[in-house]
Amino acid sequence: MLKISDISEGLTDIIKKEMNVDETKAEQIEYGIYMFISETVKIAVVLIIAAILNIFKYTVIAIIIFGIHRGFIGGVHAKTHWGCFLSYNAIIFGTLFLSFNLNINKIVLALVLYPICMLIAYLYAPADILNKPVISKRQRRYLRTGGFIFLTIVFALAIFVPQPYSNILMIITIIECITMLPIIYKITGNEYGRKEVV
């Protein structure tokens, strides 16, 4: 069976021959190709399932919000492709299940979850990992600031949009913030890229 790693290695070999890149650069290219294909397949499968279940538009919103949060504030990563695929599905569809079934006043929910999310982000963002550390202080400051701003925008929107959109915005956000916690890093066998973050 053809694997994603086989495809990324094959494409990298072609690039190496055509562009004469060194081994270090080739490794970076291969990793980038692997991640692009992996993410594309993962999201495509989720969207196909969502379309079958008739929850496509809600799923798209959850994916976008989760992705932007991840870009700014980080969080744990699964150790394997399958682990990533399964955990991603659990997060997205778990969020939607809770959003459709949770019946709590959205203002009350926002008042509870917003300070918790901001505190977690203040303590741990950007929550990087050993093989993808955020070393630059300027970059860390940019990601932290962007993360705080986006968290605030999401919760502000959640107050004004109708259900289940409000729940989706807040639940996907608190789940993302939970993935930054030290206990989650320990459970999943991850380590922060910057030790002083812990």
* Domain locations along the chain: 1-52, 54-197
At residue 112, φ and ψ (nearest 5 deg) are -80, -50
Which tens digit of pLDDT belongs to each residue from 55-107? 999 999 999 999 999 999 999 988 887 888 899 999 999 999 999 999 999 99
* Mean pLDDT value of segment 148-158: 98
Tally helices (H) and strands (E) across the chain: 8, 0
Q: What is the DSSP string of 134-181?
A: ---HHHHHHHHHHHHHHHHHHHHHHHHSPTTHHHHHHHHHHHHHHTTS
* Mean pLDDT value of segment 158-186: 97
Question: For the whole prediction, is pTM greater than 0.75?
Answer: yes
**Region of poorest pLDDT, from 49-58, 144-153, 155-164, 181-190:** 181-190
